[in-house]
């Protein structure tokens, strides 16, 4: 299942309107901040789902009571990104509580497009203005 996501860049953002800055601070997750999603995994014996989130500034120090030492050992067998890199595992219910959006992108080394916020198509036949750039070589 993880290989499906290998070609995609996945980001998540915090800024839930029903959560105060104080609550984000108490759980040690940056508010109004973008994170990357490194992995997702469901434990087969319990059907519990977990998300490996990475704070690019390594400022979040989140811990989850559902991520026990035993569970963490299993999750690290999926992806052992060190916590010092800003990565942390979070249970699916907690992820849904603290993260307000997901952005899934497909990166093509030759081009990409940028869309302005609020200009998403409501149907597959509606046109949307995009800006396309050609990247002949990454430096």
Contacts made by residues 80-83, CB under 8 angstroms, sequence distance 24+? 81/38, 81/52, 81/54
Q: What's residue 126's pLDDT?
A: 56
Fold (CATH) for 2-108: Cathepsin B; Chain A (3.90.70)
The model's pLDDT over 89-99, given as tens digits with 9 standing for 90+, comes to 999 999 999 99
Q: What's residue 44's pLDDT?
A: 86
The model's pLDDT over 36-88, given as tens digits with 9 standing for 90+, comes to 999 889 998 888 999 999 999 888 889 899 999 999 999 998 888 887 888 99
| For the chain, domain boundaries | 2-108
> What pTM value is reported for the model?
0.71
Task: Tell me whether residue 37 is exposed, middle or buried, using C-beta atoms within 10 angstroms of its C-beta: 0 to 12, 13 to 18, 19 or more.
Answer: buried
């Amino acid at each position: 299942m993880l290989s499906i996501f290998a070609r995609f860049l996945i980001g998540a953002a915090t800024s839930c309107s029903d959560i105060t800055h104080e609550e984000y601070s108490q759980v040690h997750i940056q508010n109004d901040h973008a994170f990357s999603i490194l992995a997702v995994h469901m434990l087969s014996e319990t059907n519990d789902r977990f998300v490996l989130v990475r704070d690019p500034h390594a400022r979040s120090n989140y811990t989850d009571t559902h991520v026990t030492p035993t569970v963490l050992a299993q999750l690290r067998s999926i992806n052992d990104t060190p916590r010092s890199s800003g990565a942390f595992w979070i249970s699916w219910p907690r992820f849904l509580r603290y993260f307000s959006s997901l952005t899934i992108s497909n990166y093509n080394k030759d081009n990409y497009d940028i869309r302005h916020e609020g200009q998403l198509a409501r149907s597959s036949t509606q046109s949307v203005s995009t800006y396309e750039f050609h990247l002949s070589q990454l430096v």
